[in-house]
Structure 1
Amino acid sequence: MRTPFLFLLASPMLFACRDTAPDATKTPTESAATTTATTTATTTAKAPSATEPPAEPPTKAPEPAAPTAKPTAPTQGTKEPGDTAPEAFEGTAAAVEKKIPEVHTVELRSVRAGRHAGFDRTVFEFSGALPGYRVEYIDKPVRRCGTGDPVTIAGDGRLRVRMTPARAHDDAGRSTLSPVEQRPKLPVLLELAPTCDFEGELTWVLGVGSPNRYRVLELRDPPRIVVDIKHGRAP
């Protein structure tokens, strides 16, 4: 009777020890992982403190300022093939004229202008040969030949270049000229204006800021009449 009674007293103690003992079926690594996962979940679930300031958005770097556009420089003319004339020249303010026999009419192919050291240049390029010419300053109103319509020219001076026998069209009446910049915005030369192309007479008027001295050159291969107008007035 005494032995069974002792067994009954010991049974509750055995069950209590079994519940509190570590799970023998789990390895030490698995037990540590379970503990870490539980701790991480608890930390993640924790709400942020109400006293903590909200995170500020990242500051945007200022955009670089757009570069300022530089003013366009006047067109710099290139030296014409065959031009051996010196850059510096005395020039004249009087009329310059050359007459030739009227053998055949030559065609004007291009007109161009550019800035050079100390002067502005206008080039009239022809096919075949050079015509005769007369270059002079005029102080009377400029008018178109044939119609007599007035032509407004920029500047305080007007240098007329009359060439003959010459024309700027073919037998069908089509222009033989390449595009021309008629307002080149050079220091002295302000405008190039055609005023006559009729019966072998071809005339252009150069509008200049002031009637400065000029010179006329004849160049070959191809044939060209060159008019250079000085930047400064003669002393």
Structure 2
Amino acid sequence: MRRWGTALAAMALAGGALAATAGTAGAVTPTAAKAATACETGWGSGEKTAAPAGHAPLENIRTGRHACYDRIVFDVKGATAADRVGYRVEYVDALHQDGSGEEIPVSGGAILDIHVSAPSYDPGTGGESYPGRARKPLPGVDIDGYQTFRDTRFGASFEGETQVGLGVRARLPFRVFQTDGHVVVDVAHSWNAVR
């Protein structure tokens, strides 16, 4: 009887070990899943532009973190696919305020100078549509903990355009695209194709 009990105990232990091994054999660890995620980075780091079709007012600026990039979004009130928002985005050695030419300090290893063809005021009424202040961080934007973004600075709203300085970790690939009412700038976390 004693042998039979020992044999059953041994079989139970072996079965438990087998079940544990089978349960982890097909599982993907978070590290393995992270390493397997492909990130598009073929955007380059050269200047990107689009001609404006109108000058609707800037309503908001917000940011977001994604698996492969950090994102800044310019919400433009009333802009549509037919009434496109113009932009010019490029890396610069220093951010110089539109109009005055004064240098605005921006933290980070590289600076993106972003111009969006949307003033921070309503062209019809002259009333403020976005509360940005020259040289100050963007109101309501918190980039603590972002992998790529380091600083944001409002430059100016001058001659129908709004200027923002975006400090990033290094000169990294970025893309710019539009959807109805939005200009989106994504800055990759790295030049590598896999994160």
**Shorter-normalised TM range:** 0.5 to 0.7
Amino acid of the structure 1 residue aligned with 2:154: P
The yes-or-no answer on 1:160 pairing with 2:113 is yes
Q: Displacement of 1:192 after TM fit?
A: 1.7
Larger Rg: 1
Partner of 1:137: 91
Give the ranges of 4+ consecutive aligned residues of structure 1 lying more than 6 Å apart after TM superposition.
none
Amino acid of the structure 2 residue aligned with 1:88: C
Matches within 5 A, 1:48-63: none
Partner of 1:232: 190
Q: Displacement of 1:214 after TM fit?
A: 0.9
Distance 2:177 2:64 in 1: 15
Match of 1:147 among 100, 110, 116: 100
Amino acid of the structure 2 residue aligned with 1:155: G
Distance 2:128 2:147 in 1: 29
Deviations 1:13-40 (A, max 9, x none): xxxxxxxxxxxxxxxxxxxxxxxxxxxx
- TM-score (norm. length: structure 2): 0.66
Q: Displacement of 1:234 after TM fit?
A: 4.4
Deviations 1:119-164 (A, max 9, x none): 101000101113211111112x212222232211010101111122
Q: Displacement of 1:173 after TM fit?
A: 4.2
- TM-score (norm. length: structure 1): 0.55
Structure 1 residue runs of 5 or longer lacking an equivalent are 1-86
| Structure with the larger strand share | 2
Q: Is the 8 A contact 2:61 2:141 kept in 1?
A: no
The yes-or-no answer on 1:194 pairing with 2:148 is no
Amino acid of the structure 2 residue aligned with 1:162: H
Distance 1:160 1:183 in 2: 19
Match of 1:215 among 171, 175, 184: 175
Distance 2:92 2:99 in 1: 19
Larger relative contact order (Cα-Cα within 8 Å, sequence gap ≥ 6): 2
Matches within 5 A, 1:73-112: 88-90=39-41, 91-101=43-53, 104-112=54-62
Q: Displacement of 1:175 after TM fit?
A: 2.5
Q: Is the 8 A contact 1:112 1:180 kept in 2?
A: no
Q: Is the 8 A contact 1:183 1:192 kept in 2?
A: no
Amino acid of the structure 2 residue aligned with 1:177: Y
Distance 2:103 2:74 in 1: 24
RMSD after superposition: 2.3
